Amino acid sequence: MNWNYPFDTTEYLFIFFFILVYVAYIIRTVRVARQLQTTARTLIIKLFLRSITFALLIISLLGPSFGETDREIQAKGKDIFLVVDLSKSMDAADVTPSRLEKVKFELNRFVQNERSNRIGIVIFSNDAFIHVPLTYDRAALELFIQSLQTDLLPTSGTNICGALELAFSKLMNAADPTGRSKMMVIFTDGENGSACSNTLYNNIRRFGVGVYSVAVGTKIGISIQQNGKQLMDENGKLVISKMDETFLKGLAAATRGSYYELNNTKNDVHKLITNIDQAEGTLVDSRTVTVVSNKYYYFLGAALILILLDVLITIGTFRL
């Protein structure tokens, strides 16, 4: 028999107080019986029951384990690229405190929930760049997530297709002899997005790359601040940035992916994490381990039965 917990100071204290209290109980009961000129023979039975009950409770507290079984443990991994829009429209404040700041917060939460997967970051505006290659290093990912700013890239704009092509290329060329499952999670408002080539869509579907589109912002939109002033277009009109739901839903449909929203009233990131966790991963490690089962409940059940018997047995000290 094995024990989950060692016999420690706590158990010795329990035993000491049990003996102390029970000795006081015996002395008191015997004294009362003598004063009433009766016997307390039942006391011996109760002493026997309570001692066994106490021993069973101590054993169950220590967590006895016996009986070994072989169990197979499998590790399934995924390669995930987070594709983040750094165009100027991501500074819009229709999502508090801004679209990009909200994305950064959710990216940290996402990274913490995907510890068994390799994660990389692609950033884009008009052009796309690898911000973080695929890695297990959560500390590095969190550091680079905090560095995301819309002025990180030299030009503004929204070229989602270029970012998808870069992420797809890196996923396909990753040093990955086991052929891990591959996914892309896109955080963008979708504004000014244009349809990607059929070749890209076909390749994504052909190689089974999972695409998860997260629409950031609102359909009503809001003006964009630049240098403390509201941004105007070439005709002097106020620029209103809106989330392009139609484009992003079309992107999800074309890639057989999923669509989510992120704003002040709707946050689908928890649903996103759940769906990615439930998605089939590729087996990267498998091993068989021998485990033992904690059988404390047998001893606890026996102790409860003895407690019930103890309640039913009474000590008579009165004689008619």
pLDDT of residue 311: 78
User: Is residue 180 helix, strand or coil?
Assistant: coil
Residues 125 and 153: beta-carbon distance below 8 Å: yes
Q: Residue 115's pLDDT is what?
A: 80
Predicted pLDDT at 248: 93
C-alpha closest to that of 104 among 187, 39, 185: 187
pLDDT at residue 39, rounded to an integer:
64
Token output for 109: 């939460």
Record the tokens describing residue 28, joined without a space: 């008191």
**Average pLDDT over every residue of 106-122:** 91
Q: Phi and psi of 80, rounded to 5°? A: -130, 125
Say if residue 234's pLDDT is above 90: no
Task: Read off the amino acid at residue 222.
Answer: I
- In sequence order, the 6+-apart residues with CB closer than 8 A to the CB of 100 are 86, 90, 91, 148, 149, 150
* 178/154: higher pLDDT: 154
CB distance 126 to 154 below 8 Å: no
- pLDDT bin (cut points 50, 70, 90) of residue 284 is very low
CA distance 244 to 217: 9
What the block records as the tokens of 17 is 């107080």
- Quote the CA–CA distance of 193 and 252 in Å, as a whole number: 13
Mean pLDDT of the chain: 83
The DSSP line for 281-314 is: PEEEEEEEEEEEEE-HHHHHHHHHHHHHHHHH--
- CA–CA dist 171, 146 (Å, integer): 24
| Measured torsion, CA atoms of residues 199, 201, 205, 208, in degrees rounded to the nearest 10 | 100
Torsion angle of the four alpha carbons 226, 142, 110, 286, in this order, in degrees rounded to the nearest 10: 150
What pLDDT score does 283 carry?
Answer: 44
Q: How far apart are CA 89 and CA 165, in angstroms?
A: 22
The yes-or-no verdict on residue 63 having pLDDT over 90 is no
How buried is residue 167: exposed, middle or buried, by Cβ count under 10 Å (0-12/13-18/19+)? Answer: buried
Q: How confident is the model at residue 316 (pLDDT cuts 50, 70, 90)?
A: low
| Long-range interactions of 204-208: CB distance < 8 A, separation 24+ | 204/164, 204/168, 204/255, 205/255, 205/256, 207/172, 207/182, 208/181, 208/182
Q: What's the rounded Cα separation, in Å, for the pair 126 and 128?
A: 7
pLDDT tens by residue, 64-101 = 776 665 565 555 678 999 999 999 889 999 999 999 99
Strand partners, 70: 290
- Beta strands 222-223 and 229-230 are unpaired
Q: Which residues pair with 215 in a beta bridge?
A: 188, 261
pLDDT category of residue 137 using cuts at 50, 70 and 90: very high
d(Cα 298, Cα 286) in Å, to the nearest integer? Answer: 33
pLDDT of residue 46: 75
pTM, entire model: 0.64
Distances (CA, A) of 80 to 116, 172, 274: 11, 12, 14
Integer Cα distance of 99 and 241 in angstroms: 11
Lowest mean pLDDT among 29-33, 108-112, 195-199: 29-33
Q: Which of the residue ranges 81-95, 158-172, 213-227, 304-318 would you say has the lowest mean pLDDT?
A: 304-318
Q: Is the pLDDT of residue 318 over 70?
A: no
CA–CA dist 302, 24 (Å, integer): 26
What average pLDDT does range 200-208 have in this prediction?
A: 92
Higher pLDDT among residues 46 and 118, named by residue: 118
Q: Can you give the pLDDT at residue 177?
A: 44
**What integer pLDDT is reported at residue 230 of this predicted model?**
77
Evaluate if residue 275 carries a pLDDT over 70.
yes
